[in-house]
Structure 1
Amino acid sequence: MTTTDHANALTAGALFQRLRDGVARTRGDLVADTGLGRAAVAARVDALLAAGLLVPAGAASSTGGRPPQVVRFDAHAGATLALDFGARHATIGLADLSGEPIATVSRELDIAEGPETCLRLALDQARELLRDSRAELFGVGVGVPGPVEHSTGRPVNPPIMPGWDGFDIPGAVREELDGEVQVDNDVNILAIGEHALRGGAVDDLVYVKVATGIGAGIISGGLLQRGALGSAGDLGHIHVRLPESPLVAPGDERDLEAVASGTAVAAALRERGTPAHSNADVVRLIQAGDADAITLTREAGRVLGEALAIVVNLMNPSMIVIGGSLGRVADHLIAGAREVVYRRSIPLATQHLRIEPSRGGVTAGVRGAATMALQAALSPAAVDRRLAAQG
């Protein structure tokens, strides 16, 4: 590539990616980092300053003469919205351009009421957040509890979302709000959020959500892996060797989700005479020290470990994160899972493996959805289009 070709390829949008880490740099730093000439860097930095994506950040130390000026990414130049739908609730959040949540609101809803009703509730709340902030909207990220064809943003045969199959979520959101719209399933959103929360320090991570069902989001080489059509990570529907336990009958051939999810633990508790009808009941019982709930959750962790041992041997992640509603009492799940994973995985794959509870808390889905939206809204091409539109 000639020098001219290199300069043309490294547009202002591409240069901007070097600054999204928030580290302040001088124009001289960017010249050294990119190989562009001083005039080319100055022109690109000036355009980004004019667009408000960069701001002056004082002056660097001088080695003689006039101190060089420093610029940095302005994460407060705009905002992104996140709509994180669950089966019985939605969390609507506003985040800055680094993906950091600014404000969140949770609302009860029934995802089975269909897309028009659920999206109307969420979008009305989103507009209130946006109006209060007075920030320019850059993008919208949406997470839903079912399979999604990411390229179109349409759910595909979602089992607990009647009326959502094939629905054009991005189109419906764009009718109400400007900006890029990205849609994915809730577990992928959580994996993106967990990766972002850890500052990108863990580039090979598997996020496992244990709730009504079981699913996984896979980060490999720092990137979310969706697979050919978006169904990667469907951990709950694989069949594994089921150890003998109170959760497993002889000859049991059910899949992982039917044996080790929060719903399965609640059913096993009911068989023992304990009134448990939901994940929340299981969590409540564990927090109250109920011995049966603790024992059965640890057994669920052992069954989960059978599946995770396969994942570890195949993918060699450096971290497995356990989240979801049962993630609130993840210690018991993790204890059971560790027993099996370290016994059934090859030593090289577990040499530095960590199995930890999620750090994301209630804003994990918001952070993930916002980060996904920003990957599109602040991509080199999107930034270049924004600069061209602003002249």
Structure 2
Amino acid sequence: MGIRNSRAASGAGFLLDMIRNQRARTRSELVRASGMARATVENRLTGLLEAGYIVYGAGSPQAASVGRPAEVFEFNHRSGIILAAELGLDHCRVAVTDLAAGILATAGGPADMESGPEQVLRQVDEHLTTALEQAGKTVADVRAVALAVPGTVETATGRINSPTMMSKWYKFDLRAFFSGRFPGVPVHVENDAHVMALGEQRKQWAETADLLMVSAGMSIGSGLVLGGRLFRGSLGAAGDIGHLHRGGGRVCRCGGVGCLETDAAGWAIARDLRSMDREARTAADIVALTRAGDPDAVALVRQAGRAIGTVVADLVGVLNPSVVAVGGTLAEARETLLAGIREAVYARSHPLSTRDLRITHSLLGADAGLVGAATLASEQLLSPEAIDAQLGGR
């Protein structure tokens, strides 16, 4: 382990990591921070410049008063693009981002996951073509592809492992589909709530090491960043709160009875609203009714918040996060949903666990899944090990 770490700390990837995170930006700073010889640093920087990962920035202010300003290096987030796609039970969205997960263009529309992967992925492919055109980019600019899906994803294979709820997607090779479209480009597949948690923590709560993301839409899930690292569990199933048994006799779409989703997921709320003669098929329909002040919609969403809050309270007690962020389409109901969650969490949790706890809507909003997916791909693409492998150890 020590040998591998020492090698990583002497490569170009290590220098790029310091430049990206602004821990060191001039030659002198990089020499001091890395412990490498100046000639070695110069060689590594030349490789990064030629690959386009860094560019020369403005002169260092602190050096300006003594002779010529030192050259400052900056991460070139425009040196390539990442394609991100987010699939929901009733929609799909895609984005073209730069290498820092900054969105350049988006596209999307309704989708029916129950129709199976072939039809939905054709739609995704069409949306990606549209987004590339809008961003003025081509396939040659693509450095990575990331897909966020509403199901349990096996970490090792990147395949969806939800046989009862997404039977047509079960074990489908999503990586192979996109690798065929973008040959030679790394493809990442991850659960949507997981990438939402990663994106939210990295972009909005970087000073917070422990964050719980709740994804509330047509399905219910959660993602965890613990100690600054995305927590997937041993097989990638961490955070699957929607199918925890909470009591009651309602049958869930997974085939179980009494799952959280039977009271709190968009599909369950829409079902109940239709029984009350409301036109509700999607999570967006529920939000529209709630915002319009429909009393039944408001009551059901508040009830869903309380149900979600009982599970969140357990997680707060076990994990003690600093932030609970609530995203997904149902989160667009804002205080109606959040009030129910807060009510249950503060009533059921130990005072110490909630003393400094923030429970808030996702600050990334509707883009949380796309930004999170792109962030996941970016961190893999630009890891010191990946950069060193790409540059041949230079």
Give the TM-score normalised by the residue count of structure 2. 0.89
Residues 322 and 330 of structure 1 are in contact (CA less than 8 Å); yes or no, is this contact kept in structure 2?
A: no
Following the alignment from structure 1 to structure 2, what is the Cα–Cα distance between the partners of residues 261 and 156?
20
Structure 1 counterpart of 2:203, from 197, 202, 206: 197
Following the alignment from structure 1 to structure 2, what is the Cα–Cα distance between the partners of residues 206 and 326?
17
Residues 114-173 of structure 1 show CA distances to partners (whole Å, capped at 9, x for unaligned) of 223322332243245446324621100011121111221111135443421111111121
Structure 1 pair 58/280, CA: closer, same or farther in 2 (3 Å)?
A: closer
Residues 262-289 of structure 1 show CA distances to partners (whole Å, capped at 9, x for unaligned) of 2333333344454444423321111111
Structure 1 pair 8/325, CA: closer, same or farther in 2 (3 Å)?
A: closer
Following the alignment from structure 2 to structure 1, what is the Cα–Cα distance between the partners of residues 64 and 209?
37
Please say if 1:326 is aligned against 2:330: yes
Tell me what 2:182 maps to.
177
Name the SS for the 1:151 alignment partner: coil
Following the alignment from structure 1 to structure 2, what is the Cα–Cα distance between the partners of residues 158 and 147?
10
Moved more, 192-201 or 315-324: 192-201
Following the alignment from structure 1 to structure 2, what is the Cα–Cα distance between the partners of residues 91 and 115?
15
Following the alignment from structure 1 to structure 2, what is the Cα–Cα distance between the partners of residues 217 and 230?
11
Tell me what 1:30 maps to.
30
Please state how far the C-alpha of 1:380 moved relative to its aligned partner: 1.5
Moved more, 160-169 or 67-76: 160-169
Tell me what 2:238 maps to.
232
Following the alignment from structure 1 to structure 2, what is the Cα–Cα distance between the partners of residues 8 and 74?
21
Cα RMSD, aligned residues only: 2.5
Structure 1 pair 62/360, CA: closer, same or farther in 2 (3 Å)?
A: closer
Please state how far the C-alpha of 1:353 moved relative to its aligned partner: 0.3
Amino acid at match of 2:214: V
Residues 302 and 336 of structure 2 are in contact (CA less than 8 Å); yes or no, is this contact kept in structure 1?
A: yes
Structure 2 counterpart of 1:293, from 294, 297, 300: 297
Q: List runs of 5+ in structure 1 lacking aligned partners.
A: 243-252
Counterparts of 1:354-373 in structure 2, within 5 Å, are 354-373=358-377
Following the alignment from structure 1 to structure 2, what is the Cα–Cα distance between the partners of residues 185 and 13?
28
Residues 197-222 of structure 1 show CA distances to partners (whole Å, capped at 9, x for unaligned) of 21523221111112222110111111
Residues 180 and 376 of structure 1 are in contact (CA less than 8 Å); yes or no, is this contact kept in structure 2?
A: no
Please say if 1:383 is aligned against 2:387: yes
Following the alignment from structure 1 to structure 2, what is the Cα–Cα distance between the partners of residues 235 and 189?
16
Following the alignment from structure 1 to structure 2, what is the Cα–Cα distance between the partners of residues 204 and 196?
11
Residues 270 and 276 of structure 1 are in contact (CA less than 8 Å); yes or no, is this contact kept in structure 2?
A: yes
Tell me what 1:126 maps to.
128
Structure 1 pair 105/308, CA: closer, same or farther in 2 (3 Å)?
A: same
Structure 1 counterpart of 2:339, from 330, 335, 340: 335
Please state how far the C-alpha of 1:233 moved relative to its aligned partner: 0.3
Please state how far the C-alpha of 1:317 moved relative to its aligned partner: 0.6
Structure 2 counterpart of 1:117, from 116, 119, 139: 119
Counterparts of 1:164-313 in structure 2, within 5 Å, are 164-178=169-183, 179-198=185-204, 200-240=206-246, 254-313=258-317
Following the alignment from structure 1 to structure 2, what is the Cα–Cα distance between the partners of residues 233 and 66?
54
Name the SS for the 2:84 alignment partner: strand
Residues 146 and 159 of structure 1 are in contact (CA less than 8 Å); yes or no, is this contact kept in structure 2?
A: no
Residues 95-124 of structure 1 show CA distances to partners (whole Å, capped at 9, x for unaligned) of 000011110101332222322332233224
Amino acid at match of 1:140: V
Please state how far the C-alpha of 1:238 moved relative to its aligned partner: 1.2
Structure 1 pair 294/349, CA: closer, same or farther in 2 (3 Å)?
A: same
Following the alignment from structure 1 to structure 2, what is the Cα–Cα distance between the partners of residues 267 and 111?
18
Residues 59 and 70 of structure 2 are in contact (CA less than 8 Å); yes or no, is this contact kept in structure 1?
A: yes
Counterparts of 1:98-117 in structure 2, within 5 Å, are 98-117=100-119
Following the alignment from structure 1 to structure 2, what is the Cα–Cα distance between the partners of residues 122 and 269?
30
Residues 9 and 34 of structure 2 are in contact (CA less than 8 Å); yes or no, is this contact kept in structure 1?
A: no
Residues 291-332 of structure 1 show CA distances to partners (whole Å, capped at 9, x for unaligned) of 222122212212221111100000101111111121000211
Following the alignment from structure 1 to structure 2, what is the Cα–Cα distance between the partners of residues 45 and 75?
16
Tell me what 2:251 maps to.
none
Structure 1 pair 113/340, CA: closer, same or farther in 2 (3 Å)?
A: closer
Following the alignment from structure 1 to structure 2, what is the Cα–Cα distance between the partners of residues 44 and 18?
13
Following the alignment from structure 2 to structure 1, what is the Cα–Cα distance between the partners of residues 68 and 387?
31
Name the SS for the 2:363 alignment partner: coil
Residues 210-261 of structure 1 show CA distances to partners (whole Å, capped at 9, x for unaligned) of 222211011111111110101100111112478xxxxxxxxxx712111122
Q: List runs of 5+ in structure 2 lacking aligned partners.
A: 249-256
Please state how far the C-alpha of 1:74 moved relative to its aligned partner: 0.5
Please say if 1:155 is aligned against 2:160: yes
Structure 1 pair 7/161, CA: closer, same or farther in 2 (3 Å)?
A: closer
Tell me what 1:350 maps to.
354
Name the SS for the 1:167 alignment partner: coil
Name the SS for the 1:224 alignment partner: strand
Tell me what 2:143 maps to.
138
> Which contiguous aligned blocks of 4+ residues in structure 1 show a shift greater than 6 angstroms?
none
Following the alignment from structure 1 to structure 2, what is the Cα–Cα distance between the partners of residues 10 and 146?
39
Percent same amino acid among aligned pairs? 39
Give the TM-score normalised by the residue count of structure 1. 0.89
**How many equivalent pairs are there?**
379
Tell me what 1:84 maps to.
86
Following the alignment from structure 2 to structure 1, what is the Cα–Cα distance between the partners of residues 230 and 80?
25
Moved more, 195-204 or 309-318: 195-204
Tell me what 1:16 maps to.
16
Amino acid at match of 1:203: A
Please say if 1:50 is aligned against 2:50: yes
